Amino acid sequence: MSNRSGKKVDFNVADSGSVSTNSRIVVRCEHNVPCVLKTSGTYTNPGRQFYGCPYWKDRKKTCRFFQWVESNDDETGSWTNEMGSIKNLEESLMLAERKAEKMKKENECLAEELSRLMLAHEVMAIRVKRLDDDVRIIRYMLIGAVFMNAILVVVLWRPESGM
């Protein structure tokens, strides 16, 4: 098996050298130092276990050995992967809940805007009806004025006799 850098990983059985159901695999770094089992706290791999050199923070030794725990390497490997999946699902659920809350607020704003626009529509409809009534009155007044002018012309117009 190889690590992240592509170098071969040396797996040795702990202490007794014999393999039994209770023995644990000892992973050694490039400097033949037994690695420690750590748990990732990153966003992308929360709860996932990995082997790392205990001297990774030591600037003098500068060992950056890293190897993810495979489910068959450690009894808790599949459990930690499941825990990571649960954490990912919980984070997804939180994001979805935040998005739903944001959409709910947007929906409330849109409902208020719709109410305002419906009220404005009603006001405009009332104004249009009043304008239609005004146009109808002006039309009747115009027809009345034309009719009165016609009567005046007929009454006042007298042909001159004597022609």
Going residue by residue through the chain (163 aa), what tens digit of pLDDT does each one get? 445 444 444 444 333 333 333 446 678 888 888 888 888 888 888 888 888 888 877 767 778 888 888 765 445 545 555 666 777 788 889 999 999 999 999 999 999 999 999 999 999 999 999 999 999 999 999 999 999 999 988 888 877 765 5
pTM for this one?
0.37
Residues 37 and 69: beta-carbon distance below 8 Å = yes
pLDDT of residue 5: 47
66-68 sheet: strands from edge to edge: 36-39, 49-52, 66-68
Diameter of the chain measured on Cα atoms: 152
User: In b/e form, how buried is each residue of 13-37, taking b as 16+ CB within 10 angstroms?
Assistant: eeeeeeeeeeeeeebbbeeeeebee
Residues 69 and 102: beta-carbon distance below 8 Å = no
pLDDT of residue 88: 77
pLDDT of residue 84: 62
CB neighbours (10 Å) of residue 107?
Answer: 10
Q: Give whole-number Cα distances, 129 to 120, 124, 133, 141, 142, in Å.
A: 14, 9, 6, 18, 20
84 is a domain residue = no
64 is a domain residue = yes
Overall domain count for the chain: 1
User: What is the rounded radius of gyration, in angstroms, for the C-alpha atoms of the chain?
Assistant: 45
Task: Please write down the long-range contacts of 83-88, taking CB distance under 8 Å and 24 or more positions apart.
Answer: 83/46, 83/47, 84/40, 84/45, 84/46, 84/47, 84/48, 87/46, 87/47, 88/46
Give the domain extent around 53: 10-75
93 is a domain residue = no
pLDDT of residue 148: 93
146 is a domain residue = no
95 is a domain residue = no
113 is a domain residue = no
Residues 31 and 10: beta-carbon distance below 8 Å = no
154 is a domain residue = no
